[in-house]
Amino acid sequence: MDKYQEAFAACPVETNPEHVAAEVKKIVEKAPEYASPEVYAYLFSSIDLTTLSTEDSDRSVAAFTERVNAFDNEYPQYKNVAAICVYSNFAEVVKTHLDVQDVDIAVVAGGFPSSQTFQAVKVADVALAREGGADEVDIVMNVGQFLDEDYETLCDEIVELKHTARGAKLKVILETGALRTPENIRRASVLAMYSDADFIKTSTGKIYPGASLEAAWVMCQSIRQYYQKTGRKVGFKAAGGIRTAEEALQYYAIVKEVLGDEWLNRDLFRIGASSLANALLSVMTGEEVKFF
């Protein structure tokens, strides 16, 4: 048995699709019990507020950042978002304009969203983003290498990019819509964690279907098994198509039920979103809000 098979064996998770669906159904039915002003405010503070548009520019990203600055003044009763997430070339723009405390600068880098480019290009992208001020770097696992079972090349690249990030949080996007099966999602989760990922993230939200509750359940179960084996806590990030407060609450319920309250903080749980921020803010204030 090679080291990758040993890693898979060390993190056993039930991945029969019918079992996964049944477990998710039970949690979703329980999720409304967790609805409260405090939980919605917490979910808002867990958002990586994201703009990843072809139309992004220095001016538009600066304006986007200024809205986050303004939030502290207009809604002082609430904690701000966890991070602003942008393309890697805009890290310096965010750093220049971000005035508020406790909001990180996150970037997507390394051949996002397909991971299809030279490793040297990925390394340069991550290094330049870090130099520009990125506190967190979201990269995409090479799904093609995973499906070919070229685990060594895949893992070596993640380790190299983690080293290049020089202390920034590294979030590894599994692109669960491309992986398709719960077993593939489990194995990809394990490979990312054993390659020193600080977070595992569901999706890019760009090419394949985005986040799913079933993928989240498998990923969180894998995180729990990995923690029990190693003692290292890896974070979970749901991203791709999460737009309503109800959907966000369901992901909260999965993390709470599978991983427990220890994971319910911005160091270990994030939601990547754009429109979700306004949806949650509307629930929190009791009126329709279009702040961001």
Rounded to 5 degrees, what are φ and ψ at 136? -140, 145
Which residue type occupies 9? A
Annotated active-site residue in 122, 162, 169, 201: 201
Listing DSSP states for 133-186 in one string gives T-SEEEEE--HHHHHTT-HHHHHHHHHHHHHHTTTSEEEEE--HHHH-SHHHHH
Give the Cα separation of 45 and 242 in Å (integer). Answer: 15
Nearest to 85 by CA among 41, 128, 46, 143: 46
Annotated active-site residue in 48, 104, 125, 138: 138
| Tokens of residue 9, six digits | 């064996």
Question: Is residue 201 among the annotated active site residues?
Answer: yes
- Distance from CA of residue 127 to its chain's centroid? 20
Give the Cα separation of 21 and 27 in Å (integer). Answer: 10
| Tokens of residue 158, six digits | 């993640």
- Work out the end-to-end distance of the chain between its first and last CA atoms, rounded to an integer number of angstroms: 51
Rounded to 5 degrees, what are φ and ψ at 165? -70, -15
Listing DSSP states for 96-125 in one string gives HH--SSS-EEEEE-SSTTTT-S-HHHHHHH
Annotated active-site residue in 162, 171, 237, 256: 237
Say if CB 52 and CB 225 are below 8 A apart: no
3-state secondary structure of 10: helix
Question: Is residue 138 among the annotated active site residues?
Answer: yes
Question: Is residue 261 among the annotated active site residues?
Answer: no
Residues annotated as part of the active site: 138, 201, 237
